[in-house]
């Protein structure tokens, strides 16, 4: 007691306690208490649709041993842009042509800019809003060539104001806000760019802002005629990733525009005027709903809670780490649902080698449950990632899909990142469900090529150090996933 009283007489102890108090308040406020910007965590109306188109990108080895890149998603986006007459709204996370220089990749970012500028030249009154993430300038460290080209062509480019969002990395972000955030990020860079070797060097201050690990992670495209919700980024180094996309028409377009307008507004930018447009309900057997952020979480948990005997649950996922989701998977399997999960082995990101987190330890945890109704396979990636984020419940009568930008992690589901998914429900004999069923069956069974491999192929890479790192990251929330 005397020792404690002695310490309390020292000024440096009170200063330390004050700092701890300030950091604690900042953590509580920016993680939980802080109000979400208006329009975030959005759930649109349920719309009846006649038809929804499904597109997918696959990289695999064919029966002759040759690598095949069968890419559909951005080809459809270019075509959709080419048909726009009134407006184009895009919201894309990674949007640049930088790579690590080791491999040749398709020039997705350039082709996307070319398609937009060409259509704007053909239709001079075409309004274009392109919303993207500050990561493409490494948080203001340099000018992006792709963004500059769009702006020079008359496109309204919106860099999302990430400071409005809650903090997903609270231990670090609280210290950053208190000590460094006021310094800005501009200046001559001298540190190698973490995104790619070919990208410009960055300032230490922009690198420190990056470590907050917060993002507008959405990936979608909207015109007056149709909307595409996808898992794909217009990022050259991501050009061979496995991705999926769904193209829809009708009043869901207005829901997506409403959610995107909210991002533009809280980022201090103007948006298109769309109130005069009328999209008629189609009728039809498919029920479709646009959801973002935490409303995606609700939709995923609801579909898993409803799954049971007679249902086949398919999950294709880049990151799978959320405890509620894995618990619901186990519960669905206990009720008799057959659950098949295809995961990325998390070997690479931005050209850098990764230690297999979080999927290696999460897969081990699912395997250790000993539930015979849960089966796991890895997508056998090469230079690409299995970047899909899709849940498909194949029921005896009705089916359901939840797909879009959101990984199943705390950062992606708990109102931290900006995310965008679509929920599709309806009779299982509808074409969109048949195509998704064929997609999963094909890659699970390695039909006409090599796509996936058994659980044991990568699980030997799970060392005790990696397991401990995973739990430390989960406990501190200091993660990149």
DSSP code per residue over 39-51: T-S-B---EEES-
| Average pLDDT, integer, range 139-151 | 94
Q: What is the DSSP string of 279-303?
A: -----SSEEEEEEETHHHHHHHHHH
How high does pLDDT run on average in the chain?
A: 93
More confident residue, 178 or 71: 71
For 304, the enclosing helix (H) or strand (E) is helix 294-306
State pLDDT tens for residues 301-339. 999 999 999 999 999 999 999 999 999 999 999 999 999
Residue ranges with strand state E in 267-383: 286-292, 312-317, 338-343, 348-349, 352-353, 374-379
* Residue 200 to residue 399: CA distance in whole angstroms: 47
The pLDDT of 243-269, averaged and rounded, is 98
Confidence of residue 460 (pLDDT cuts 50, 70, 90): confident
Residue 461: pLDDT band with limits 50, 70, 90: confident
Q: Using the predicted structure, report yes or no on whether residue 477 has a pLDDT greater than 90.
A: no
Q: To the nearest 10°, report the CA torsion of 121, 126, 132, 137.
A: 40
Average pLDDT over residues 233-259: 97
CATH number of 47-266: 3.30.870.10
Residue ranges of the domains in the chain? 47-266, 286-476
Tell me which CATH code domain 286-476 carries. 3.30.870.10
Q: Does the fold of domain 286-476 match that of domain 47-266?
A: yes
- Please calculate the CA angle 373-374-378 and round it to the nearest 5 degrees: 145
Judged against a pLDDT cut of 90, whether residue 82 lies above it is answered with yes
Residue 6 has pLDDT above 70, yes or no: no
Please write the tens of the pLDDT for every residue from 204-221. Answer: 999 999 999 999 999 999
Does the pLDDT value for residue 14 go beyond 70?
Answer: no
3-state DSSP call for residue 75?
Answer: helix
User: Do the Cβ atoms of 221 and 90 come closer than 8 Å?
Assistant: yes
> Residue 386 — pLDDT band, cuts 50, 70, 90?
very high
CA distances (Å), 387 to each of 160, 164, 265, 341, 351, in order?
23, 27, 29, 14, 14
If you average pLDDT over residues 374-391, what whole number do you get? Answer: 97
**Percent of the residues in the chain that have a pLDDT greater than 70, as a whole number:** 96
Measured in whole angstroms, the distance separating CA 52 from the mean position of its chain's CA atoms is: 21
- Residue 403's pLDDT band, with cuts at 50, 70 and 90, is very high
Which pLDDT score is estimated for 36?
96
- Residues 361-379 have a mean pLDDT of 96
pLDDT exceeds cutoff 70 at 140: yes
């Amino acid at each position: 007691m005397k020792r404690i009283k002695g310490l309390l007489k020292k000024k440096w102890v009170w200063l330390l306690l004050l700092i701890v108090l300030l950091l604690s308040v900042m953590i509580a406020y920016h993680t939980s208490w802080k109000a979400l910007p208006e329009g975030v965590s959005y759930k649109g109306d349920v719309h009846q649709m006649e038809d929804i188109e499904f597109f997918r990108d696959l990289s695999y080895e064919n029966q002759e041993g040759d690598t095949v890149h069968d890419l559909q998603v951005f080809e459809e986006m270019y075509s959709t842009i080419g048909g726009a007459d009134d407006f184009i709204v895009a919201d894309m996370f990674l949007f640049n042509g930088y790579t690590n220089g080791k491999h040749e990749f398709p020039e997705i970012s350039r082709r996307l800019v070319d398609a937009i500028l060409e259509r704007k030249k053909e239709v001079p009154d075409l309004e274009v809003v392109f919303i993207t993430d500050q990561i493409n300038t490494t948080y203001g460290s340099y000018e992006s060539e792709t963004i500059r080209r769009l702006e020079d062509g008359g496109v309204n480019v919106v860099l999302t104001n990430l400071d409005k969002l809650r903090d997903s990395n609270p231990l670090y972000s609280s210290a950053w806000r208190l000590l460094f955030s006021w310094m800005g990020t501009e200046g001559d860079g001298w540190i190698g760019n973490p995104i790619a070797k070919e990208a410009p060097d960055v300032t230490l201050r922009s690198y420190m802002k990056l470590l907050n690990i917060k993002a507008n992670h959405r990936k979608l495209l909207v015109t007056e005629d149709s909307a595409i919700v996808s898992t794909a980024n217009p990022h050259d180094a991501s050009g061979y990733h496995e991705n999926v996309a769904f193209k829809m028409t009708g009043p869901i377009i207005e829901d997506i525009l409403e959610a995107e307008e909210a991002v533009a507004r809280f980022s201090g930018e103007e948006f298109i005027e769309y109130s005069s447009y009328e999209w008629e309900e189609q009728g039809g057997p498919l029920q479709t709903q646009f959801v973002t952020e935490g409303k995606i979480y609700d939709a995923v948990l609801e579909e898993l809670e409803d799954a049971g005997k007679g249902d086949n649950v398919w999950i294709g996922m880049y990151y799978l780490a959320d405890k509620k989701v894995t618990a619901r998977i186990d519960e669905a399997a206990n009720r008799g649902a057959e659950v098949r999960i295809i995961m990325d082995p998390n070997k690479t990101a931005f050209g850098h080698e990764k230690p297999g987190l979080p999927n290696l330890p999460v897969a081990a945890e699912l395997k250790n449950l000993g539930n015979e109704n849960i089966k796991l396979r890895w997508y056998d990636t090469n230079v690409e990632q299995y970047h899909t984020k899709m849940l498909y419940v194949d029921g005896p009568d009705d089916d359901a899909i939840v797909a879009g930008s959101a990984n199943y992690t705390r950062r992606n589901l708990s109102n931290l990142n900006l995310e965008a998914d679509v929920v599709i429900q309806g009779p299982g004999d509808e074409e969109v469900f048949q195509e998704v069923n064929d997609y999963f069956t094909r890659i699970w069974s390695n039909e006409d090529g090599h796509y996936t491999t058994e659980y044991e192929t990568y699980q030997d890479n799970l060392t005790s150090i990696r397991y401990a790192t995973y739990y430390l990251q989960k406990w501190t929330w200091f993660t990149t996933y």
